[in-house]
Structure 1
Amino acid sequence: MSAGPAERAIGAFRETFGGEPDGVWAGPGRVNLIGEHTDYNEGFVLPFAIDLAARVALRVRADGVIRLFSTAGTAGVTELDIAGLDRESAAGWSVYPAGVVWALQERGIDVPGFDLALDSTVPLGSGLSSSHAIECAVATALNELTGAGLPTSDLVLATQRAENAFVGAPTGILDQSASLRGRAGHAIFLDCRDQSAELVPFDAPAAGLVTLVVDTRVAHSHADGGYASRRAACELGAEVLGVKALRDVSTGDLDEARGLMDDVTFRRVRHVVTEDERVLDTVAALRASGPAAIGPLLDASHASMRDDFEISCPELDTAVEAARAAGAIGARMTGGGFGGSAIALVPADDEARARSAVMAAFAERGFRSPRLFTVSPADGARRLV
């Protein structure tokens, strides 16, 4: 059994567990084009699945044991008892497949034991959702192998449940929605209130552009306190304003809101409200004029995350500023913040200049050298072989 991108996972499976897997499934990482921290506020997001993915080779076992191996790890095989899964029983990256199993069990699905070998090309801690890539690959595999037949909307909620209640990260549904719903050549316009989704054409190369990712190599984690404190501020803002979620607040309400809460809470609210509007404006611009029209919206999004939501960092700001100075039509940090990656829409002819400018700016400031690569919208989680 071998097939292109699945080969490394299959090879690792054979070497670790012997024999052949039942199949190989992929869960892509994602880039969020715009719409940050709006998902758990029941707002709008515009991510796309990328051509970097977690690939899992998996074979069902009959004894209720889970054995996990990663090509990126040095710890060997992790073994878990499927009947007694809890957060304390899993460590490191094993919390992600274990959390999916736990969430599926909670839904009454009889999940068998299994052997799993993971090979992922999504950089860890980069803000490209390496954890959700693993979860979505595993959820897609187990959904098929158990015959559960859950629709995509339920897989989204199951992986969110795994993140929130098992992993301990208070995330919304953006990342897994992108990984599960992705389509090559498109971004996903997602309403996080009802999960309604529309595909919006996003073909940067056809517009003479590339989507350059700058992985600052400043690791972040959604389980850390900064993310939770931002979410708590948003919930407080909604409570003060008497709405179900900040999705229900318009930019016209902001002047009144300013007088009802402290400055920090107000700025958190202002980011979410204006970011929702920027998502809608970006979708309209893409449909009317294509990717070349959205640069100023990306720039405004980064400024809002830097100043109002305060989730940027010096490395992210440097990446954005250097890319813009070298010809990017727009740039912003992407992901939950406090590190991770920035994206820049760069004219193809200026790509080399932008890469050089970012590397030079990081060196000048004494930062660790970033990883630079381009991404394109890709298909979502699926069986490879």
Structure 2
Amino acid sequence: MTTDAPRDTLRAGTATGDADVRERFRELFDRTADGVWAAPGRVNVIGEHTDYNDGFVLPIALPHTARVAAARRTDGLFRFASTQTSVGSDADIAVVSVDELAPGAVHGWAAYPAGVAWVLLADGHRLTGADVLIDSDVPTGAGLSSSAALECGTGLALNDLFDAGLTDAELARVAQRAENDFVGVPCGILDQTASMRCTAGHALFYDTRAGLAEQVPFDLAAEGLRLLVIDTRVQHALGDGAYASRRAACEAAAEELGVPALRDIGLAELDGALERLQDDERRRRTRHVVTENARVLEFVERLRAGALRDAGDLMVASHASCRDDYEISCAELDLAVEASLAAGALGARMTGGGFGGSAIALVEADAAEAVADAVRAAFAEAGHAAPRVFTAVPSAGATRIA
């Protein structure tokens, strides 16, 4: 898959087409897939680590997807395979029975789709097994929600195969529970909601507490703009405790302040709230969440007013808050932001869970190539691996494609 990127800068993955994935499915499982479903990765334009604090987020879906070819079984077995690994023998297939499906029973990438099946079974849906082949071009470890794409694509496939009748919003919750309770990553609902509910040409303004979604026009091309994704190639792992520790600090701060979640602290109340918190770490985490929620709301207002070019300062402030108060940036992310801004970007920030992964830069279309080149040059000078740079095109959420 290619993207509308300066100089067609690196492809973001190596997925095959839907016809090819059906053929691979036939070769591997010696049967015909019942269908093919696709779920995208995402870029979070602004609103980082606010979702599990009942806050606001503003993601877009990427054109890069996890494609899921699947067929029902009736013998109680689930078999999971991926085109990104060798699929020439049974040893390449993760096999688990309905009765054995439990946290810890499946490891590695296959835990994500297996977790979705486990949640559906736990909710009382009668799943009798399935063969599942996944083909993805969402970069892994890049902060672009490759795991949510796996979960949502699988969820949509199983929902159709077994007539579960779940809505997109309900499938997003199923996918989140799979990652929380089966894989063991205490993520919020942002990634899965973006993968399921985004629409082409729009950013999804989502209130995670109320479950309210608004599709806000985000036509970058019409505005003469581009949103560059800069994958630093620094792999992040959110299950190592760093993510969980930040969520725990936020929950402890909310309890200390006597509110259900940090969402309930407004900007006008922030100084007083910080004075009441006894722990400096909790103060910094709280300051990030409260100010980040305010930045999302202001960003959306500028979008509605047709003033996207004037929103770059909010992205810069968001990155500084992620870096200093939430402490989830790294040297490569900081360099990507700094080099982008020095080369003329209107705004730039890290995106995703942090500790590596990707940054984004809002740029004039005619400056995109120069900004991308400046980032590459800065990485080369610093001795870092060359970043992968491509343009984010606001795309559609999960759907059946064959």
Q: TM-score, normalised by structure 1?
A: 0.97
Q: Are the equivalent residues in 1 in contact too, given 2:144–2:358 (CA < 8 A)?
A: yes
Find out whether 1:172 has 2:188 as its counterpart.
Answer: yes
Find out whether 1:368 has 2:380 as its counterpart.
Answer: no
Q: Which amino acid aligns with 1:198?
A: E
After the TM superposition, which residues 1-385 of structure 1 pair with which residues of structure 2 at under 5 Å, given as runs? 5-74=17-86, 76-261=92-277, 262-385=279-402
Q: Which amino acid aligns with 1:241?
A: L
Task: Measure the CA separation in 2 of the matches of 1:267 and 1:30.
Answer: 27
Q: Which amino acid aligns with 2:137?
A: T
Q: Are the equivalent residues in 1 in contact too, given 2:104–2:182 (CA < 8 A)?
A: no
C-alpha deviation, 1:260, in angstroms: 2.0
Q: Are the equivalent residues in 2 in contact too, given 1:286–1:293 (CA < 8 A)?
A: no
Query: Which consecutive residues of structure 2, in runs of 5 or more, have no partner in the other structure?
Result: 1-15
Q: Are the equivalent residues in 1 in contact too, given 2:169–2:196 (CA < 8 A)?
A: no
Task: Measure the CA separation in 2 of the matches of 1:112 and 1:51.
Answer: 32
Segments of 4+ in structure 1 off by > 3 A? none
C-alpha deviation, 1:293, in angstroms: 2.4
Moved more, 245-254 or 9-18: 9-18
Task: Measure the CA separation in 2 of the matches of 1:211 and 1:104.
Answer: 36
Q: TM-score, normalised by structure 2?
A: 0.93
Task: Measure the CA separation in 1 of the matches of 2:20 and 2:334.
Answer: 36
| Helix, strand or coil at the partner of 1:207 | coil
Task: Measure the CA separation in 2 of the matches of 1:128 and 1:248.
Answer: 28
Moved more, 169-178 or 60-69: 60-69
1:250-284 superposed Cα distances (whole Å, 9 cap, x missing partner): 11222112222222110100000000000000110
Task: Measure the CA separation in 2 of the matches of 1:372 and 1:9.
Answer: 26
C-alpha deviation, 1:45, in angstroms: 0.4
C-alpha deviation, 1:133, in angstroms: 0.1
| Helix, strand or coil at the partner of 1:298 | helix
| Helix, strand or coil at the partner of 2:92 | coil
Aligned length: 382
Task: Measure the CA separation in 1 of the matches of 2:226 and 2:240.
Answer: 32
1:102-128 superposed Cα distances (whole Å, 9 cap, x missing partner): 111111001121111111010000000
User: Identity of paired residues, percent?
Assistant: 56
C-alpha deviation, 1:378, in angstroms: 0.8
Who is 2:10 aligned against? none
| Helix, strand or coil at the partner of 1:210 | strand
Task: Measure the CA separation in 2 of the matches of 1:39 and 1:161.
Answer: 14
Task: Measure the CA separation in 1 of the matches of 2:381 and 2:20.
Answer: 38
Q: Are the equivalent residues in 2 in contact too, given 1:203–1:291 (CA < 8 A)?
A: no
| Helix, strand or coil at the partner of 1:109 | coil
Query: Which consecutive residues of structure 1, in runs of 5 or more, have no partner in the other structure?
Result: none
C-alpha deviation, 1:290, in angstroms: 4.1
Task: Measure the CA separation in 2 of the matches of 1:347 and 1:140.
Answer: 37
Who is 2:7 aligned against? none
Task: Measure the CA separation in 2 of the matches of 1:11 and 1:360.
Answer: 41
| Helix, strand or coil at the partner of 2:305 | helix
C-alpha deviation, 1:11, in angstroms: 2.6
1:18-55 superposed Cα distances (whole Å, 9 cap, x missing partner): 23200000010000010000000001001111100000
